[in-house]
Amino acid sequence: MKDVLKRIVFGKKEKYWWMTAVVPLISILLSFIVGAIFIKITGRSPVLAYKLLFGASGLFPGPYWKSHFAEMLLSSSMYIATGLGFAIAAKGGLFNIGAEGHFIVGGIAAAYLGYAQPFAGLPKFIHLPLIFVGVILAGGIWGSIAGYLKAKRGIHEVITTIMLNWIALYLIEAWLVIGPMEAAVETGISGTPYISVSAKLPKIFAGTRLNISIIIILAVTFFIWFLFYKTTFGYEIRAMGHTLIFGMEAPKAGGINVERKTIQTMFIAGAVAALGGAFMVLGVLFQYPPIFEGGYGFDGIAVALIGQNEPLGVILAGILIGALRTGATTVQLAHIPKTFPSIIEGFTVGFIALQVLIRYWIMRLVEGRKKAIQVDMGGGAK
């Protein structure tokens, strides 16, 4: 049982394979404790805050649970998309901060294909797949620009992805939505026109906004897991990822076309993150608004870090962040600012960054104090 689980979930043959799951859990726990201290300091009740936060998060059954649960999965599908965008690149040794840009590029592509005339009249079962193909291409190409610059010109992807985020933002918000893609003035709509009925994601939970986005993203996550752990292609990317950070040449010497793989990795990362933007436009907003207050891309980094860059971890972390986000505005009923759940998210990432320390603590617990120190010293001496 342990072995099977180990292979399915992590695909690793480490001795302390469960560490990958325990470290994020402890980080989350610690951040909740710190969050409670914060609320206490400001003179409010942490119990009430957490009660409201989780009561409205959709994680636990309760009154109005149905709509909260639906909202949670709706948010989670977007966080999982951007989280995967980061995790995929991280597997290939790339630090991809471009999920925000990929997200909005996906959103605008979905909006355009959703309302533009030759497509808008198509039946749903042709129209929707067509939109998703367009979104994947748009996000993928946007992502592979950074990959190309990294592979062929050696420009660090952190720089290019950040810059491409701004380029995407201003291309869209300062040109497309107030220029060529603007809705006609007499309709009274600001932003792009609304997408046609055939472009809306089918709802799967009556009385709520929940749509098939969560199913799509779970399927995509499975596909990514399969790609990384069951195919040569994925193996090569992971091999690259293990060594690229240190600038080692082993994969290259082993016959992997590192340049091409870098571009391909960024293509996949961009395409998956772009799906999140498509979910937003096709399932929630039904148009691309004049001002898009995003942040999903950057929260995706947190999701990936909490999820330890593993597909299953990203799903769980995505659900956690989605739940925090869904409960976020409800804490205002207890007069706690809506930003409070973001503080928890920030702390969780902070504690994840301390994972070496947390690992060391756990190790000490497991192996006894002396042995752990020996192991640590031994590692350091080499």
Partner 1 sequence: MRIKRLLALLLVVVMVGVVFVGCAPKVEEPVEKTIKIGLVTDVGGRGDRSFNDSALRGLETWAGKVEYVKGGGYEAITDAEFEASIPDDLKDRNIQPLGISAMVLESKDKKDYIPNIATLVEQEKCDLVIGVGFMLAGAIGESAVKYTDTKFMLIDAPPVDEDGNMIDPPNVVGYLFNEHECGFLVGAIAAYATGTGKAGYIGGMPIPPVLRYEAGYLAGLKTIDPSIVVIGQYTGSFTEPALGKSAAESQISQGCDVLFHAAGATGNGMFQSICERGAPFWGIGVDVDMGLDPHLCPDRTLTSALKHVDYATYLAIKAVVEDTFQSGLVTMTLKDGGVGYAPDHVADALTQEQIDKVEHLRQMMIDGIFEVPTDPDKVDAWTPPTDF
Contact residues for partner 1, defined by CB under 8 A: 42, 44, 56, 63-64, 67-68, 71, 74-75, 173-174, 178, 183, 185, 187-190, 193-194, 197, 200, 209, 280, 284-287, 289-295, 325-326, 328-330, 332-338
Shortest spacing between CB 191 and partner 1, in angstroms: 9
Shortest spacing between CB 182 and partner 1, in angstroms: 9
Shortest spacing between CB 269 and partner 1, in angstroms: 23
The nearer residue to partner 1, 245 or 333, going by C-beta atoms, is 333
Shortest spacing between CB 283 and partner 1, in angstroms: 10
Shortest spacing between CB 254 and partner 1, in angstroms: 45
Shortest spacing between CB 133 and partner 1, in angstroms: 24
The nearer residue to partner 1, 45 or 257, going by C-beta atoms, is 45
Report which of 333, 290, 312 is spatially closest to residue 224, judged by C-alpha positions: 312
The nearer residue to partner 1, 178 or 372, going by C-beta atoms, is 178
The nearer residue to partner 1, 158 or 285, going by C-beta atoms, is 285
Q: Classify residue 21 as exposed, middle or buried by CB count within 10 Å of its CB (0-12, 13-18, 19+).
A: middle
The nearer residue to partner 1, 3 or 293, going by C-beta atoms, is 293
Query: Could you give the CA distance from residue 288 to residue 351 in angstroms, rounded to a whole number?
Result: 36
CB 28 within 8 Å of CB 306: yes
The nearer residue to partner 1, 94 or 280, going by C-beta atoms, is 280
Shortest spacing between CB 115 and partner 1, in angstroms: 10
The nearer residue to partner 1, 185 or 253, going by C-beta atoms, is 185
Report which of 138, 115, 140 is spatially closest to residue 191, judged by C-alpha positions: 115
CB 301 within 8 Å of CB 95: no
The nearer residue to partner 1, 148 or 340, going by C-beta atoms, is 340
Helix ranges (H only) for the chain are: 2-9, 19-41, 46-55, 65-91, 99-115, 117-120, 124-153, 157-171, 213-230, 232-244, 250-253, 258-280, 296-306, 311-328, 340-353, 355-367, 369-381
Shortest spacing between CB 94 and partner 1, in angstroms: 27
Shortest spacing between CB 163 and partner 1, in angstroms: 18
Shortest spacing between CB 35 and partner 1, in angstroms: 16
CB 300 within 8 Å of CB 273: yes
**Four-point Cα dihedral 21, 22, 23, 25, nearest 10:** 90
DSSP for 148-175? Answer: HHHHHH---HHHHHHHHHHHHHHHIIII
φ, ψ for residue 100, nearest 5 deg: -60, -45
- Name 214's Cβ contacts closer than 8 Å, sequence gap at least 6: 73, 74, 76, 77
Query: Could you give the CA distance from residue 243 to residue 263 in angstroms, rounded to a whole number?
Result: 17
Query: Could you give the CA distance from residue 182 to residue 289 in angstroms, rounded to a whole number?
Result: 10
The nearer residue to partner 1, 210 or 363, going by C-beta atoms, is 210
The nearer residue to partner 1, 56 or 272, going by C-beta atoms, is 56
Q: How far is CA 176 from CA 90, 200, 206, in A?
A: 31, 21, 35
Residues facing residue 203 across a β-bridge:
211
What single-letter amino acid sits at 133? V
Query: Could you give the CA distance from residue 196 to residue 204 in angstroms, rounded to a whole number?
Result: 19
